[in-house]
Chain A
Amino acid sequence: MKKTLIIAGAVAASLVASATFPFGSAQAAGAGVTPPKQEWSFAGPFGTYDRAQLQRGFLVFKTVCASCHGLEKVAFRNLAEPGGPEYSEAQVEAFAAEFIVDGGFDEFGDPRTRPATPADFWPSPFANPQQAASANGGKAPPDLSVMAKARTYERGFPWWITDVFTQYNENGVDYVAAFLKGYVDPPEDFDPALGNYNLYYPGHVVAMPNVLFDGGIEYPRDDQDRPVVPETVEQYAKDVTAFLMWTAEPHLESRKAMGLQVMVFLLVFAGLLYFTKKRIWARVGGETEGHAAG
């Protein structure tokens, strides 16, 4: 038996060794650059959103992103719900009232409009995809509702295995945050006619221009009239990405909280079952698994 395992192990090891080599080169050939890992408050088994960060992120979204991107899966009421930015009902009503939306038909059958209410979904900045494309150089800006889960980067061996144990799940947000900061000076031979240069975008040529600039958005002030966090591209990118994680995964907090209860229950139940099983099998002289040979 031991001998077999050694042979099998040797075969496996040599195969893996020979195979990881081309794997590495394939990764290097990939067009994007691996985004740096960030600290996120919502990472890990006990992760929760940072309310203040979500509110700052919403501010960045509203001031910058929303002029081109939709957020069609998010309703205004979501902004007041637990587990999110948790704005007050009054604040949410005020956000909604800034928009005029389609209000059905009046008694004469003519279309009418009305101010949005918390029950409405976030209105798209463009009337239709064609308009969105033509206003943006031929490519419609994608909706951002689930963007934080719709982007990733390849982790490669052995990280895709260790990620299962470390619960590293933040590929999407690490990429999005890096992308927003990725408008660095292009290499000398870059042709600006192609589009904009982004270090982290696969292929580096992206239709979206740089939108974040240091000091561009005014953050809330503390009592000494200083911004609570630095007004830098770094911070804007991180805050708006955290906000997009919430829009993509609005029930993340209750999911992780329930996960803890379920895991504790299952492990305790498994423990009890293990001893029950041991006791029952003791009636026939204990478990006599397997075989003597081999």
Chain B
Amino acid sequence: MSSHSTTYVPKNAAAKWLESRLPIIGLVHSSFVAFPVPRNLTYFWTFGAILMVMLVIQLVTGIVLAMHYTPHADHAFTSVEHIMRNVEYGWLLRYMHANGASFFFIAVYIHIFRGLFYGSYKAPREVLWILGVIILLLMMATAFMGYVLPWGQMSFWGATVITNLFSVIPLVGDTIVSFLWGGYSVGNPTLNRFFSLHYLLPFMILGVAMLHVWALHVPGNNNPTGVPIKSGKDAVPFHPYMTVKDTFSIVCFLAVYAWFVFYLPNYLGHADNYVPANPSATPAHIVPEWYFLPFYAILRAVPDALLGVILMFASIAVLAFLPWLDTSRVRSGSYRPVFKVLFWGFVVTCLMLGWLGSRPAEGIYVILSQIFTFLYFAYFLIAMPLLGLLEKPLPLPNSITEAVLGKKAASGSGMPVGAAAEPQSKG
């Protein structure tokens, strides 16, 4: 961001004084006002802004909830009920926070699949993509630890199952697990450290998200054609064009979110988590939150525990290597006829894994989990490297403007004045 030369001109003495010492207004101006964005971005490109809003909602509601919550095995469940009953609008804070986690994941999954389809991970956006994978990992850790805090049955047994995964690591596994637990089983020390980390990690997400935005602003946005901005005609300034579009999209997203918060607040949760944690009674089915189900299915697909854990972590790690696994030089899936089919097959694979994660690990479900786990990895490790070599892509447009307006318009006649060149006084 700082490498950008800014077009911002301080208008008064105070701003001039600050700008010559810390050019922060210029930074914001060049990043969120004058920043040129491709004019053909669809609504799939508004999920970055939606995610920023969700992160802020989670931070604000979370910080206030922490003021009323007691991280102790004997009091956590009761303190959550205290929030629900006796804290002013406590029910609103808690339902916003609990459903906010789910909607954070809904938005991030759409954001990721958009990146997968339009090749947003390809050069020169590899670092941007990898930062995104790191954010996803941090989100998963945060969400998992947050779900433990109410100290219900699913909190307790989910924590037991997931922390036990580390015991399969040869030699040091058991030591790591007791270190995570702070004892010899999930208990009060576990709850305490999870609370501490659940408060810390969101700020790490915020930090990496800022790097993510920085890394975005160097090459600029990808777009549905995958063809970079070539002239001012291809772009519009971020403000007001994207600000108004993002805001509209955010409000629509919040309406769906509000539908759940106010009318279906427990739909995405588990009834078992309204039963206080009981180390001597195991729930009939221990199921993670819906956003972990595909990974849970991969974990349980193979009979060997160590291999299952390796596959589960590999299923996320493989994303980080995608920029080099995909050998196609064409960025956008729109111009890759075979890729398109495989992409939708991959979406179905993820949905099927999600469904299988909610089923007990027995009979036909295990076999199906194995098939879809294979298809999941095959997409990254077989299809992506081979497809780039075998597939014949469709011809690419010469520019974004040509793609959206046709060849005639791009040649100049009858085209409205290039938006990026439009004077700011109009906005």
Contacts and interface: CB of A to CB of B under 8 A. Distances in A.
Given A284-B236, A294-B335, A149 B274 contact: yes
A180 to B, nearest CB: 17
B403 interface: yes
A258 B88 CA distance: 14
Interface stretch (A59-67, A204-212, A268-276): A268-276
Contacts of B264: 163-164, 167, 169
Most chain B C-beta atoms within 10 Å of own C-beta, residue among A45, A262, A291, A292: A291
A10 B274 CA distance: 40
Contacts of B396: 293
Contacts of A227: none
Contacts of A8: 341, 344-345, 347-348
A185 interface: no
Interface stretch (B8-16, B38-46, B210-218, B299-307): B38-46
Contacts of A251: 84-85, 91
A131 to B, nearest CB: 17
Contacts of B91: 251, 255
B244 interface: yes
A288 interface: yes
B251 A266 contact: yes
B422 A267 contact: no
B345 A11 contact: yes
A152 interface: yes
The 6 closest A-B pairs by CB, nearest first: A259-B262, A8-B344, A150-B274, A152-B271, A288-B404, A294-B334
B263 A290 contact: no
Interface string A226-270: 000000000000000000000010110001101100110011011
B368 interface: yes
A4 B336 CA distance: 11
A221 interface: no
A69 to B, nearest CB: 14
Contacts of A141: none
Interface in B33-59: 39-43
Interface string B267-280: 10001101100000
A289 B81 contact: no
Given A22-B363, A281-B241, A293-B335, A256 B406 contact: no
Given A4-B344, A73-B81, A285-B416, A292 B262 contact: no
Contacts of A164: 264, 267
B344 A11 contact: yes
A22 B362 CA distance: 11
Contacts of B92: 255, 258
A285 B85 CA distance: 53
Contact of B248 (A202, A256, A270): A270
Interface residues of A, number: 59
A254 to B, nearest CB: 8
A112 interface: no
A277 B241 CA distance: 8
Given A73-B78, A150-B275, A164-B267, A263 B258 contact: yes
7 contacts: A8-B345, A8-B347, A12-B344, A169-B264, A277-B245, A281-B241, A292-B403
Nearest to B402: A292
Nearest to A163: B267
A171 interface: yes
A58 B43 CA distance: 51
Contacts of A182: none
Nearest to B255: A266
Interface residues of B, number: 71
A151 to B, nearest CB: 6
A255 B263 CA distance: 8
Contacts of A291: 40, 224-225, 332, 334, 397, 403-404
Contacts of B241: 280-281, 284
B424 interface: no
Contacts of A280: 240-241, 244
B252 A277 contact: no
Nearest to B258: A262
A293 B403 contact: yes
Contacts of B352: 15, 19
Contacts of A19: 352, 355, 368
A167 B263 contact: yes
A293 B254 contact: no
Most chain A C-beta atoms within 10 Å of own C-beta, residue among B78, B263, B334: B263
Interface string A1-22: 1001101100110010001001
B21 interface: no
A34 interface: no
B420 to A, nearest CB: 9
Given A11-B348, A259-B258, A259-B262, 15 more contacts: A8-B347, A26-B360, A73-B78, A251-B84, A259-B263, A284-B236, A285-B405, A285-B415, A288-B404, A290-B40, A290-B404, A291-B332, A291-B404, A292-B404, A293-B397
